[in-house]
Structure 1
Amino acid sequence: MDKTARNLVESVLTKKPGGDQIIREYVRTKSLTDTSRRKLVNILAAEMTEIHGTAPPRRVRELYAQGIIEMFPSLRDPYSKNGYEHFYDGESGSGYLAWRLKTIQRKSTSSDTRRHASFSSEETLSQEQCKEAISFMKYSSDEAAIKHKMKMTFDYRCKMVLDKEKSSDVLTELPRFKDIKGLIEQDFTLEFGQDTASRFLERWPTVFKQKIIQQSKTLPTSSDLEELIYCAEAVSSEEEFEETLSTGWDSDLASITLLLHLIPPSYQGRKRPGRVSASQAEKHLVVFQKSGTNIQEHIDAISCATQPYLLVVGTKRSTIHEFFIVLDKQISHFTQSGLTLWG
């Protein structure tokens, strides 16, 4: 984990403007000035929000904080437990990275509020304009323009989803859900507001996730349930979890899967409604594929079922890199933050 954290920070700094200058300064002086330290924090916080949204998971923040002191050892705090708490302390939610992320969240909320006001008062599209925008999005390669038009057509698309005759054609009419990341998260924010989305993602690891685990421990025990709880509580850097994590889900996905045990699924059979076990439901809800798998071949091989499921791709079930929703042999790509909102 030390090496992984260091490599993560190093890769960000070597590809971002100003990162090489920070590295050279440390090599030359074995330290960083306050100005350089602020630049370092700003670069890493920007990278986190670009990948994970404005409220990255706690373990992601800790990984970046650990990477800082592994790459710049003189920045380690000798008086704290892990040495990186001044960059991010998961217990208190404080530290340079946490404060920078909160600043980004405030600016994002303010910006979204202004955009929403503009959208409401000036840029409301007619039905005909919405149809033109949807036609434009099918063939455009401009991601920024597509995301903007997706915002402008939000109300129109919501009505489309609720229309029984049109709902099955959503991914056909809006195919960019398949190849442009962040559209699902954007729709969640438009529906509930940036503040709600950010606060939910911020509180997920420390509040909601812990409540799911606690409630799950009160259920009748089973081997599948115990493994999910074990994985949900696991910290992948600890050696004692290595064997379980090689076959079990990662912590967030295990927590979301626990909802199947808390809210038992039902099955509508031909004769009468019946029960299906949570473990059986999990196999229908989440499908894992190894990195390098041809996703299109996987889609072509499945039977045309209308029940949507989550397709996750990674080196192993505890290390997921990509998330897709599959419905009617159509796929939509979304980020890890989108997974939490989806759950």
Structure 2
Amino acid sequence: MLVEDVLKFKSGGEAVLQEYQETETLTDATRRHMINILVSHMIDTHGQLPTKAIREQYAHGIVVLFPSLRDPYSKKGYVDQDFTLLFDAEISSRLLQKWDTFFRPNVIKEAKQLSSTAELSQLLLSAEGDLDEARRGPKSPKISACNAVERLVIFHKSCSSLEEHLRNNRHQHPYLLAVGRQKSKTDSFYITLDKHLIPCQANRSLGEFDELFKAHFVFNLSYDTALVSFYTFLQTTVYNIDVGKMKESPRVKDLRARLLNQTVTLS
């Protein structure tokens, strides 16, 4: 079995297998260590851009070897499984199920009422097309919409070294690394954190961002200070996590109230 063989012969892998044998589960720290071992092996064996089939092979191997960690509601990535274990399947699926049909049209409606700028116009065009990028950040360090996007998604040309990118990476918070020949046509996405790459399992930008958001909870990570209001809005309004317990700006509360009390459909 691929995953088992890798863990048996890689440093620290035997401890992962032993912990599961003794407890029938894995702590967060052990899961993270296991992911790092397997991702490193996958890249060493299949190169910097392993195919979707290869990534799925490793993901399938994990749930076969550790069946008590299997998520019966989802066949997506390991981050998605861990997030569902922390919360539940309904919360885990909220962004993917409700963004296109409810949140996106309402966010677009609210954005059109703001003062028009070049950045806002560009984001609206993306949102009304197939992408989804409407941001807010009050009470945190002020940041433009374009700068916010750059903190969430960074493009990396597939012909360049991923190791060099990680060496030069100064981001202290997780972000998506989009890899491809050009920005308009990326081949794959990774969640980048602590100078490690976790391949995304989704094949759409919305799903990849869903995994990025969930990684904060799976790995117990804090939000980027400049994006706290944005992430808090998603956490409470979209995923419905800790509503009333999170510190929210009045603007976030007001936006949530307006979004959740209307039904909008785009023509």
Could you tell me the TM-score, scaled by structure 1's length? 0.40
Could you tell me the TM-score, scaled by structure 2's length? 0.49
Larger Rg: 1
Which has the larger helix fraction? Answer: 1
